[in-house]
Amino acid sequence: MTNIKEIKNDLLKDSYYEIDHSSGFKIFVYPKENFSSSYAVFGTKYGSIDTCFKVEGNEKFTEVPEGIAHFLEHKLFESEELDAFARYAKTGASANAYTSFDKTCYLFSCTGNFEDSLEILLDFVSNPYFTEQTVQKEQGIIGQEIRMYEDEPGWESLFVLLRAMYHEHPVRIDIAGTVESISHITADLLYECYNTFYNPANMALAVAGNVTVEQVLKIADKMLKPKESKKIERKFCKEPATVVEKTAMKNLSVAMPIFAIGFKEDVKTPLRTLKESMESNILLDIIAGPTSSLYEEMLNDNLINTTFDTEYFEGYGYSAHIFNGESTDYEKVRERINQEITKLMETGVDEESFQRIKKKHYGSLIMDFDSIDSISNSLISAYFNGEGIFDQLKLLESITVEDVNRRLKEAFNIENSSMSVIKNKEGK
Amino acid sequence: MNNIAYTEISKSVRILCVNTDKFKTNCIKVDFYLPIGEYFPAQNVLASYMGHTSKKYSTVKAFNSKVEGMYDACFDTTVSTVGEKVRIRFSMEILDDKFSIDGNSISQEAVDFLVEILSNPNATENGFDEELTTREIRFTLENIEAMKNDKRAYAVSRLRQLMCKDEPYGIDNEKLEEGVRNLDGKQLLDAYKDMLKTATVVITACGSVDSEMLKDKFEAFAEKIENRNPAELETVFVTKADEIRYFKEEMDVNQAKLVIGLRAGMKDSNDDYFAYRVMTDIFGGGPYSRLFLNVREKMSLCYYCGARLIREKGIILIQSGIEEENYEKALSEILNQLDIMKKGEFTDEDFNSSIIALCDAFKGVEDSPVAVCNFYSSQEFDEKIISGEEFAKKIGAVTREQVIECAKRVSVDTVYLLKGEENND
């Protein structure tokens, strides 16, 4: 039995359909009037942090090599006959996939032949095919992908920071693993991960754009077969509140030192609520956003340049507020940010700044609904977090300055912060 | 099909307005096109300066608060080159008026803001503010220098400089930095006046922005500029490379970056453009392309290997990240694939995959306000402005023979490798 529920938003004048498909899969369809293209994402709640897990009923936890979720993503495109890219080449769709800390998503966008392309997507993700030879071939390609990231200072700066903040949590490992770790991946291990994480209870399909529910169901009915849903247990590792080190350096050739300062939150439960993440984002804008006094002062004092930005970084078992930028005097930047946070903890956030930032977030939330890729990807992430994509708009109204002040006190502890610095080798 | 209004409001000041109510965002871009010349360093600083301060909104906080107050309008100023034209761009993405909480028109406020900062920079009759000029020079220098952080982009910029050494296109970043370093507020004011007087101005808008309002406000803006005298905008097209030049440079990199510059053989940006677009795509476009299938999939030499056509200059760039020891192997396979293109030995499947993928992509180009603005503004100097649908039709009409003819006109000009340092410790 397939159940369809329409979810509307009066402000946006948009609606989408949440479908419990007879196969056990969750499907979302978000039609966009007058759009020519469609965008589909088929995702599983399985990312780089899932290195230790067990299926309910099993006794022992299984540990797998770092980078295996990403490796699996690459390998799923292959099949015994035509690989997925060769099949998409006949429909004209533009296809891709990505692996993050907590999910793996396969996607395509197209204007024509939507149904054929959706069939390809559902087919190749549902039918794994790995051999030792194809696994070996991929080790060369992914090895070069890892090497490419090693030359990207912004990326390196995030991971140096994560390793400085986290003792145990697997968020500290690189999404693609290392050249060494992926050398231990075998076809059997790939099948084991696939069979654990690629099942209806752990996956969802989201489509937005020039599509109808009927079109999507026609293909879903044909391609998605009922499959045993598995309950997966993730190891929620004991992560101390403290950081590993206050400052971590790495040498790479850069024009100017690149820093990332992270405030680690001592999380008692695996996930933050949606409201808490929204409060965090508002807070970051208040502390050091483009209209904050701190931002202007640091610009005028030659401490930062216009690359400076902030990010709220969170997922299963981790949460941190991060400040990124370029500076020759990064220690001074850290000092200024710490001072500002201490000051705000004492005085509280002022109502005027709060209202201005809230209005900004109202605008950016709505603008996100113009992009069918953003809508589809958000439908998947929101679902994996137990939320709906209209929830933020409703919640924003209810957030008060007291909420933000509370969040500041619970999430920031200067003692539990780290800084990563990427800079040139001495003498360069 | 969208409703497109195109008007020339005065000499070389044009407005292109794509009216549609399908978006929740409106997008407005004001582009000033100038030749690459003596003002180039100053133009780089000018864009940064005008993006952070104006007479009315002089501090960063006041300026950004104004922008943020328009419901998180995304405002940006950039300088880039389009062929051998400099483009100084002021762009805004704003929330559609229908979501305004107080009922005020956000689009009108945004257009007023654009006209205000363009008309009244933070300057006196003697020049731009010296202190702020110093700050903006710092931002600009750090921005140019920061290109070294992105090794792939840095390798491309080095190739461009080496390959087009004797053409304005071959921008020398060191010279640019020197020029920027020596600027003062007076020179910035001169560059600003020159921009208003000599640029070709193109305003592109998409969404529900009232095209009459836009026209009236920019007409008033243009009328105030005295002695407008738009400069000629030309790009030199070198149609053939005499011999292949090889360069290797060292940097502290983990993975070597290979960039190859080809002369496409185009005489101008319209010369067989659609056939060249298809040819470059079969050669190194999507995952169905010759380079992806052979250099990456068959030989496992890299994660990325692709080619793109720079239409406005008639060159093709190939990029790949490889282990240095695989340099000869990768280079020879890339050139082998180019040869296959020239001999017409690519398959019908290669050809069809490319046509269908390109047509599909162009048909969807009008599904975001920013993409709409970019798509139409990129055609400003073409013979005729056409829609995404028409674009796809022209791609679909390209024949196999035309592709082979284009490939035959391609010549390899420069091969550049950025590799790790010897004695890497």
Residue A407 lies in a domain: yes
* CA B130 – CA A177 distance, rounded (Å): 50
The verdict on a CB contact (< 8 Å) between A356 and B65 is: yes
Chain B: residue whose CA lies nearest to A357? B68
Rounded Cα distance between A303 and B274, Å, is 48
The C-alpha atoms of residue A18 and residue A351 are separated, in whole angstroms, by 38
Nearest residue to A179 via CA among A148, A152, A139:
A139
Contact A307 B146 (CB under 8 A): yes
- Among residues A190, A210, A234, the one where a domain terminates is A234
Statement to judge: residues A262 and A386 lie in one domain: yes
Among the partner residues A251, A300, A369, nearest to B135 by beta-carbon distance: A300
Q: What is the token pair recorded at B404?
A: 């082979």
Calpha distance A197→A55 (Å, rounded): 9
Residue A240 lies in a domain: no
Among A185, A212, A234, identify where a domain stops. A234
Mean pLDDT of chain A: 94
Does A201 fall in a domain?
Answer: yes
Together in a domain, A287 and A224:
no
How does pLDDT run across A378-387, given as a tens digit for each residue?
999 999 999 9
The residue among A133, A281, A291 with the most chain B CBs within 10 A of its CB, best to mutate, is A291
3-state secondary structure of B42: helix
Asked if A374 and A259 sit in the same domain, the reply is yes
Give me the domains of chain B, ranges plus CATH numbers: 3-223 (3.30.830.10), 245-419 (3.30.830.10)
Q: Which of B83, B54, B371 is nearest to B204 (CA)?
A: B371
Q: Under 8 Å CB-to-CB from B190, ≥6 apart: which residues? A: B39, B42
CB contact under 8 A, B142 and A112: no
Average pLDDT per 10 consecutive residues for chain A, totaling 428 residues:
95 97 97 96 96 88 94 93 92 96 97 97 96 88 89 94 96 94 94 95 97 97 90 84 97 94 94 94 97 95 96 95 97 98 96 92 95 97 94 94 97 97 82
Do residue A180 and residue A31 come from a single domain?
yes
**Does the residue A242 lie in any domain?**
no
Strand order in the sheet with B245-250: B245-250, B411-419, B256-263, B315-322, B305-310
A115, A27: one domain: yes
Task: Say if residue A117 is in the same domain as residue A258.
Answer: no
Model confidence pLDDT, tens digit, residues A277-286:
999 999 999 9
A428: in domain: no
The answer as to whether A114 is a domain residue is: yes
Cβ contacts below 8 Å, chain A against chain B, sum to: 188
Looking at the domain assignment, is residue A239 inside a domain? no
Write the DSSP assignment of B113-160 as a string of letters. HHHHHHHS-SEETTEE-HHHHHHHHHHHHHHHHGGGGSHHHHHHHHHH
Give yes or no: residues A256 and A214 share one domain. Answer: no
Both A225 and A204 in one domain: the answer is yes
Pick from B254, B244, B246, B260: nearest CA to B324: B254
Question: Which listed residue (A73, A239, A265, A314) is catalytic?
Answer: A73
Question: For the sheet containing A232-234, what is the strand order?
Answer: A62-63, A52-55, A232-234
Nearest Cα residue to A264 out of A193, A187, A162, A354? A162
Is A8 within a domain? yes
Count structural domains, chain A: 2
Q: Are residues A164 and A126 in the same domain?
A: yes
B interface test, pick of A13, A33, A90, A148 with most B CB neighbours within 10 Å: A148
Answer whether A205's CB lies under 8 Å from A28's CB: yes
Nearest to A78 by CA among A31, A133, A152: A133
Instruction: Please name the member of A252, A290, A305 whose beta carbon is closest to the beta carbon of B68.
Output: A290
Quote the minimal CA–CA distance from B367 to chain A in Å: 6
Q: Which domain holds residue A93?
A: 3-234
Find the CATH number of the domain harbouring A135: 3.30.830.10
A299/B300 CB distance under 8 A: no
Strands (E), B169-221: 200-207
Judgement on whether residues A266 and A170 belong to the same structural domain of the protein:
no
pLDDT at B1: 45
Pick the residue from chain A with its C-alpha nearest to B61. Answer: A291
Asked whether the beta carbons of residue B99 and residue A153 sit closer than 8 angstroms, the reply is: no
Distances (CA, A) of A90 to A73, A275, B55, B340, B353: 21, 44, 56, 22, 6
3-state secondary structure of B78: strand
Amino acid at B7: T
Q: What pLDDT was estimated at residue B353?
A: 96
The low-confidence residues of chain B, meaning pLDDT below 50, are: 1, 424-425
User: Do A114 and A251 lie in a common domain?
Assistant: no
Q: CA of B346 to nearest chain A CA: how many angstroms apart?
A: 15
User: Based on the domain organization, do A50 and A198 belong to the same domain?
Assistant: yes
* Residue A410 bears catalytic tag: no
Residue contact A252–B252, C-beta within 8 A: yes
For every residue of B273-310, DSSP letters joined together read HHHHHHHHHHHHSSTTSHHIIIIIIIT---S-EEEEEE
Q: Which of A202, A234, A266 is the last residue of a domain?
A: A234
Q: Are the beta carbons of B99 and A11 separated by less than 8 Å?
A: yes
pLDDT tens string A315-351: 999 999 999 999 999 999 999 999 999 999 999 999 9
The pLDDT score that the predictor gives to residue B2 is 59
Q: What is the dihedral of CA B270, B288, B258, B403, to 10 degrees?
A: -30
- Chain A residue numbers with beta carbons less than 8 Å from the beta carbon of B287 are 85, 88-89, 95
